[in-house]
């Protein structure tokens, strides 16, 4: 929204014509819709998958009351996530409100 608002004005702070605004807006549109489209897709799929998994965890909580935070373990794991690797908490622990995948 901020990028679109900024696109209304030219470098001198004057209102752009619609044609100039459209040209600038198209750049922003491409930036967000093309560049980040795969990221948005992956996040949506990951969120839906983990929501389904969470339902399974809740259904099995009587028999399996604990969850373990485990990273993928590759070189792409961020340091702050590496620090969480191996933590075990009850499924009812508030820890999972913040640190449940997709995390970050």
pLDDT-derived band at 34 (thresholds 50, 70, 90) equals low
Every domain of the chain and the residues it spans: 2-35, 37-98
Distance, first Cα to last Cα, the chain:
22
* φ and ψ at residue 52, rounded to 5 degrees: -65, -45
For residue 1, pLDDT over 80 is answered with no
Which positions ≥6 away from 100 have C-beta within 8 Å? 50, 54
pLDDT digits over 51-68, tens only? Answer: 999 999 999 999 999 999
Q: Where does residue 25 rank: exposed (0-12), middle (13-18), buried (19+ CB within 10 A)?
A: middle
């Amino acid at each position: 929204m901020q990028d679109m608002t900024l696109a209304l004005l030219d470098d001198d702070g004057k209102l752009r014509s619609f044609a100039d605004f459209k040209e600038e807006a198209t750049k922003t549109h491409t930036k967000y819709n093309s560049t980040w489209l795969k990221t948005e897709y992956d996040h949506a799929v990951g969120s839906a998958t983990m929501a389904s998994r969470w339902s399974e965890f809740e259904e099995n909580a009587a028999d399996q009351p604990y969850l373990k935070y485990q990273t993928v373990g590759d070189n792409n794991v961020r340091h702050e996530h590496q620090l969480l690797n191996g933590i075990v908490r009850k499924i009812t622990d508030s820890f999972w409100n913040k640190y449940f995948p997709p995390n970050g």
